[in-house]
Amino acid sequence: MQFSAGCTTSTRGRGLPHEKTDNHAHQIAAWLAHRLRSGAPSCPSSREQNPFDFSRFEGWFAGVEHRALKLGDYSIAGLEDICVVERKDLADLVHSFTATRSVFVDRLKRMTTYPHRLLVVTAALSQVKSAYPQGRANPNRIFQSLIALLAGFNIPFLCTETHELGEEAVASYLYHVHLYHWLETNDYGRFLADQDL
């Protein structure tokens, strides 16, 4: 699934503040939030077995597009070469780090070329560290593989307790990647408010 989040549609009559000064930071942030909600297309990869449903976040994106991606499960239309999100449920994570480890590690290595990359696991970290109901996989090996992924490949991972929290985390991540990209592209810097994120 891939989110398309380009600033290509209208902003419903709201214009950009004319001056780029510190006094306008809050106005710009409010305008951007409105523009992105009203005009940023969104899109989720067609190979997902149990895809996220982003309908709860339709106000964040102008649409959702299902198509094959070069890498990963989710991205942003127009930013597919700089943003990738890989999603795993617990069973898939265990399988990927055991039975198909070399294929998965190769895919993770390819993710390192993307400035914005994230692995989302739709299971609590305590589940990753607990005995698995089926199979003989060692929970500590899976956990240590995630830590090696973070330290060795610099790919952050996020464990969410539910599929629904994973949906929200990915939708929010893609929204923010697009927002910061838009700010930087339009010479506003990489922050939403002065002396803040």
**What are the boundaries of each domain within the chain?**
3-185
Structure confidence by residue, pLDDT tens digits, 177-186: 988 998 899 8
Q: How far is CA 17 from CA 3, 30, 34, 70, 188, in A?
A: 27, 11, 13, 37, 12
pTM score, whole prediction: 0.78
- pLDDT value of position 23: 43
Q: Residue 174 — pLDDT band, cuts 50, 70, 90?
A: very high
Q: Residue 47 — pLDDT band, cuts 50, 70, 90?
A: low
Start-end of H helices in the chain: 25-39, 90-97, 101-111, 125-128, 139-153, 163-185
Q: Residue 113 — pLDDT band, cuts 50, 70, 90?
A: very high
- pLDDT value of position 92: 94
Average pLDDT on 49-62 reads 82
Per CATH, which fold does 3-185 belong to? Rossmann fold (3.40.50)
- pLDDT value of position 48: 66
Does residue 40 have a pLDDT over 50?
no
The structure tokens 């898939």 sit at 92
